[in-house]
Amino acid sequence: MSKSRFSEFLTVDNSVLVLIDHQTGLLASVRDIEPDLLRTNMKALVKMAKAADIPVIVTSSMPDGPNGPFLQELLDIVPEAEYIRRPGEINAWDNPDFKAAIEKTGRKKVIMAGIVTDVCLMFPAISAVADGYDPYAIIDASGTWNKLVQEVTIHRLAQAGVKVSTWASALAEMMHDWRSDKAYPLAGVLSEHTSYGLVYESFLATQKQEA
């Protein structure tokens, strides 16, 4: 595995977003992050992908069982996302349709979020590294049983070579330059879901005055 991947940045051309098991039953068990904040972060991550026009792949584990259906408000943001329903695999990477969907994009930077962090996110992230991909684990759009479990999981992800990140950091990394085509749509997502909104509003007001 090339060491250069640790210094290679996300772009709109090399990235794919994968949402793993953001299902209602699993979400009910999350205790390491406030529910409203998690919901905001999940929506922001999906809106980031839409603004950047990168592929989105969604997967759920036995959605007709106790894990519950995938969160509809996320699906509503990206109705064009490829949705893989897994019949039983705990590690999504073990599902051939899921893995094939990622391979089909031709992209190696796999932005991942999942519920729960220590299973649904961690297992496929580690498997992705083993198969030569460069996964980014978006911790603040994922959730698990408690903070201790989250902290232990972050250590194991880092040990395996997974890049641990947040949605806003991934967005800024992908945006790269205010002069890029996707800069303003991406900044709009950041302003909608963080306190950066005040800065962005001030900037836009200045731009209008100058015009």
Residue boundaries of the structural domains of the chain:
3-175
Half-sphere exposure of 39 (CA within 13 A, CB side): 9
Architecture of the CATH domain 3-175: 3-Layer(aba) Sandwich (3.40)
Q: Which residues face 166 on adjacent strands?
A: none
Q: Which residues are the active-site residues?
A: 120
pLDDT per residue of the chain (211 residues) written in tens, 0 to 9: 455 777 899 999 999 999 999 999 999 999 999 999 999 999 999 999 999 999 999 999 999 999 999 999 999 999 999 999 999 999 999 999 999 999 999 999 999 999 999 999 999 999 999 999 999 999 999 999 999 999 999 999 999 999 999 999 999 999 999 999 999 999 999 999 998 878 777 777 787 777 6
C-alpha triplet 25, 152, 112: angle, nearest 5° = 55
pTM of the model: 0.93
Cα radius of gyration (the chain): 17
Q: Residue 89, Cβ neighbours under 10 Å: how many?
A: 16
Peptide bond between residue 12 and the one before it cis (omega within 30 degrees of 0): no
Q: How far is CA 91 from the centre of its chain?
A: 17
**Two tokens at 55?**
């592929």
